[in-house]
Structure 1
Amino acid sequence: MKKIIYTVFVLLLLTGFLVACGSTENLTEKNSAMENSPGEKPIDSDLRIITEEFPPFNYKGPDGRAAGWATDVVNEILAKLNQTSEIEILPWKRGYEIAQKGPFVALYSAARTDERENLFKWAGPVAYFDYTLYASNKSGITIKSLEVAKKTGTTGVVEDDSRNQFLKENNFEDIKVFRTDAECLKSLISGEISLWLGSSTNAEAIAKEEGLDLLTFTPVYQVRTVEMYIAFSPDVPDSLVDDWQSALDEIKADGTFDEIRQKYNITATSKESVPDSPAAVAQQALHTIISDTDGMIRPVLLSYEVLRETSEVKSGEWGKISPLLAALEKNQPDARTWYALPDGSYYTVVDGLTSASLKSRPYFPDIIAGNVSVGYVVVSHSTGKNTGIVAVPVIIKGNTKGILGASLYLDALTDKTREKIPEPFLFFAIDNEGKFAIHSEKGKISQSISAYDRNKSLKTALEEIFNSSSGSCSYEEDGVYYNAVFQQSPFTGWHFAVAWPA
């Protein structure tokens, strides 16, 4: 009997020890939201959640609490996880610095860019916005390129915002930083700055919030579209980030995400039904976009191959080359034509000699070696837009003396492709470096497919598409299952795909 009592006593002690050890587990594992049962009282997320004033995505509501499109999404995620958390509204610079250092911080809405990729862990996307340059209506300013913008005067931007980083990367020197976009806009209207790098997604909302006249400022140059995510500090465990991503995928799949978009007058995801024989429709669409894309790029290449044999181009004199490229650009408005020298300096029809260099571009050494280049995806130095490169070497006596090139606007190509591909079909193409060249969600253009490592289903499908010449596959994204057909273009080398809800 004593032995039994002793054994029970030891087991109780051991159980207590294990419970005590469990209480010291990582807070994330303890609070992994997917383990909470429905009906339980919400638990604290243990995350410090931070946002900024950036309507309509996130802003201070009438009750002083965080509100807005992205805030509603974050609150729905918390509800799915049966968690709760206060949301702080801080100036972007301060919130951004806190999120990089941690501990246990979630920051939204953050543009996911190459420069930020390894600074955070990511869940999303929750929204998208574009980079647009604005000027005062009375200024008379017109902008045709980033080169022109650099010389126009002071450009205002929110400090440490992705747009601030974009200006620095593109060698803008006359930059004035502000705490908020509202401060930028007020300074633009007052004449303190010449340009504001804002966004057409929320410029009007900011003006209304501040009681500013919408007729006092105007967009003068649209740059590109980017996706916005929830950024987690590096110390946040992968399991928690995965929980947030799964919850976000669920609210996209069950219609909650679209309800939030409609609440803020944002176009909801297409509800078009899948047609009969979707695989046949997708296969035809696939052939169409490959044919159309090749049909747009091939004439540019052929024109350049003819031009490089002319005496004007072989002279290497920009004054003689410029009229030829101007004629080409007039017939191809969705491209920027250029001529580069072997040292990387280059000219455009709009800017003349630019301040940037092409020497660090991945395609440059290959062209200098005497090879034609088709299809590299880059963000243009001169325009700031997502572009696909077509370039030919100008060879004299066996040496490359110059390069004729065109930067094709990929957002415009995507828009034209969307006109041919009916909803609810999705489409995309991947270049030979693993970047999206076109995508029905334009915020993904120029992104690397490696950014989707957290979604094993999508990652596997993208790798199969990238490493195969043709075929079919299935994958899950945003809580929706898709079937897809894909094929590589032998001309551009791009891997095209058309997908539809399964």
Structure 2
Amino acid sequence: MTLQANLRTLIALAALVLFCASLAPAAAEPPCIANPKSAPCIGARQPNAPPCLRGSYGPRTAQIAQMKYLAESMLAAYASQADVRLEAVLQNLRTLALTPQVRSGDWEKMQGLISAFQEQNPQLLVFYINPDGSYYTAELGLTGKNLSDRAYFPGLMKGDEVVGSIVVGKTSGKKSFIVGAPVTNNSAVTGAMGAAIYAENFAAAMENAMPVPDSMVIVAADKTDVLALCSGLDQRTNPPCLQTGALPCLKDMEKQNNLSVVSSLTGWKFTIVGPGCPVK
């Protein structure tokens, strides 16, 4: 089987874990205290099992613990898929930032190189940022707009890379994820290469690579609970994922014992929330 087929199998199996609470209700004490040879005691107790399995016994305990493991593996693979796509853009920007044309800081010298990269990547909006926040694009040249008020801008001008900052583009007007790499000359930051990845295009690419069944929804949100991704084409055009801001259910997510994983690249938190917001 191909990697994509394996991932789809994991997705299908992982959906079953959402019903673990009904399949294996918790027991306060082992039922075998009165009868040590009773059948439930054949299965070993699993103290590290999911909340709905703690205190459970018997063959189903191991089975559902395995489904939880599959769900965790699927969620990690989904987050990794997003990281790989963003990392590829970052690597290209790093390469551009090292070229003599871009390091010159002269738009006329770098314009041809950036225009060629833009043509090869229509899903992006590529730009060069000056230290004062003004910026150029291949289509417009100097845009007349300024990025110095963006949250990621100070760090970028200090030499930090940015990956996954969620914005509404000043040029495109579209919800986008920003990736940026500083440009240095003699160890000083002289500008930055940036790219806005359109969220709609990114989500469609994720859907094609890792379709998620209707029985669950995976959301990714940044540290301030601003929605980055929501699995399922239908979910992105209907509640709860229609909103461009925070999902209401994300604020209570820590109380739901949902499966989550945090990306070390973007800081996004990927969570399986089931169909819609979790039931309180």
- Length-normalised TM-score, structure 2: 0.66
Aligned counterparts of 2:168 and 2:225: Cα–Cα separation in 1: 15
Deviation of 1:277 after TM superposition, in Å, equals 4.3
5 Å-filtered alignment, 1:129-140, equals none
1:429 aligns with 2:203: no
CA deviations 1:409-449 (Å, max 9, x no partner) are: 11222223334212222111112343111123435464135
Question: Secondary structure of the equivalent of 1:367?
Answer: helix
Instruction: Give the conservation status (yes or no) of the 8 Å contact 2:219–2:272.
Output: yes
Aligned to 1:367: 156
Deviation at 1:280, TM superposition (A): 5.0
2:252 equivalent to 1:460: yes
1:326/1:349 contact within 8 Å kept:
yes
Summarize deviations over 1:175-199 as a string: whole Å, max 9, x none.
xxxxxxxxxxxxxxxxxxxxxxxxx
Partner residue, 1:492: 266
Distance 1:497 1:332, change over 3 A: farther
Counterpart residue type for residue 315 of structure 1: S
Determine helix, strand or coil for the equivalent of 1:407: strand
Determine if contact 2:15/2:215 at 8 Å carries over to the other structure.
Answer: no
Q: Offset of 1:330 from its aligned partner?
A: 3.2
* 1:447 paired residue number: 245
Q: 1:330 to 1:289 in 2, by over 3 A?
A: farther
- Determine the C-alpha separation between the residues in 1 that align with 2:153 and 2:127: 13
Q: Secondary structure of the equivalent of 2:148?
A: coil
Q: How many residues align?
A: 207
> Could you tell me whether the CA contact under 8 Å between 1:387 and 1:409 is conserved in 2?
yes
CA distance in 2, matches of 1:329, 1:374: 18
Residue 369 of structure 1 deviates from its aligned partner by 1.2
Change (3 A) 1:327 1:498: farther
What corresponds to 1:411 in structure 2? 200
**1:201-350 correspondence to structure 2 within 5 Å:** 275-278=15-18, 279=68, 282-350=71-139
CA distance in 2, matches of 1:318, 1:445: 37
Aligned pairs for 1:93-112 within 5 A: none
Q: Which one has the largest radius of gyration?
A: 1
Give structure 1 stretches of 5+ with no counterpart: 1-271, 465-472, 475-482
CA RMSD of superposed structures (Å) = 2.5
Aligned-pair CA distance for 1:408: 0.7
Counterpart code for 1:425:
M
SS of residue paired to 2:274: strand
In the TM superposition, residue 394 of structure 1 has moved relative to its aligned partner by 0.9
Distance 1:282 1:327, change over 3 A: farther
1:25 corresponds to = none
Secondary structure, in 3 states, of the residue corresponding to 1:484? coil
1:159-170 counterparts in 2 under 5 A? none
Amino acid at match of 1:310: T
Within 2, Cα distance between the matches of 1:499 and 1:374?
24
CA offsets 1:189-244 (integer angstroms, 9 cap, x no match): xxxxxxxxxxxxxxxxxxxxxxxxxxxxxxxxxxxxxxxxxxxxxxxxxxxxxxxx
Of structures 1 and 2, the one with the larger relative CO (CA 8 A, separation 6+) is: 2
Aligned partners of 1:413, 1:372: CA distance in 2, in Å?
A: 20
AA in 2 matched with 1:395: T
Q: Find the aligned partners of 1:275 and 1:381 in 2 and give their Cα distance.
A: 39
| Larger fraction in strand | 1
**1:382-415 CA distance string (max 9 Å, x none):** 1111111111111122322111000011122222
The 5-angstrom pairing of residues 383-394 of structure 1 reads 383-394=172-183
Distance in 2 between the 1:384 and 1:282 partners?
A: 36
Distance 1:369 1:444, change over 3 A: farther
**Contact 2:128/2:136, CA 8 A, preserved across alignment:** yes
Aligned-residue offset at 1:281 = 5.3
Aligned to 1:380: 169
Q: 2: distance between equivalents of 1:317 and 1:374?
A: 25
Aligned sequence identity (%) = 30
Match of 1:357 among 113, 131, 146: 146
Structure 2 distance, partners of 1:282, 1:445, is: 26
